[in-house]
Amino acid sequence: MKDRPAMATQTVMIKNERVRVSEWRFSDGAETGHHRHEYDYIVVPMTTGDLKMVENDGSENIASLAKGRPYFRSKGVEHNVINASGGDFAFIEIELL
C-alpha cells in the first residue's frame, strides 16, 4: 500500500467578514491536497523555496518563491500545492472574502 503524503497545516490567524488570514506550514514533501479557491487571495512567503503546483487538469509547474515577496491570484484556482523545497516551507495566505 502506498504511503499517504504528509499534509500541510493551516492555522487561521484572523477571520472576519472581510478577510481570512492563514499561516500554512509544510514539512518536506507535504501538500495541501486538491482544493479550489473560493476567494481572491494573496500569498506572502515566510521562507524561500519551491512549491510544485498540480493544476486541476493534471499539469504541473514549479513556483519559486522568495521570502517576503507576495503574489496575487484570482478566485477559482484549483490545484494541489506540494513543498518541493527539500526542507520546511511556510507562507501567509490572505483571502479577500
Query: Taking 70 as the threshold, does the pLDDT of residue 6 lie above it?
Result: yes
Mean pLDDT of 20-44: 98
Whole-model pTM?
Answer: 0.94
Average pLDDT, the chain: 96
Question: And the C-alpha cell for 75?
Answer: 478566485
Mean pLDDT of 9-31: 98
User: Cβ distance 30 to 52 under 8 Å?
Assistant: no
Query: Taking 90 as the threshold, does the pLDDT of residue 59 lie above it?
Result: yes
Question: pLDDT band for position 58 (50/70/90)?
Answer: very high
Mean pLDDT of 5-25: 97
Farthest CA pair distance, the chain: 43
Sequence-separated (6 or more) residues with CB below 8 Å from residue 21: 12, 13, 14, 15, 92, 93, 94, 95
Question: What pLDDT score was predicted for residue 3?
Answer: 80
Query: Taking 70 as the threshold, does the pLDDT of residue 2 lie above it?
Result: no
With a pLDDT cut of 90, the percent of the chain lying above it is 94
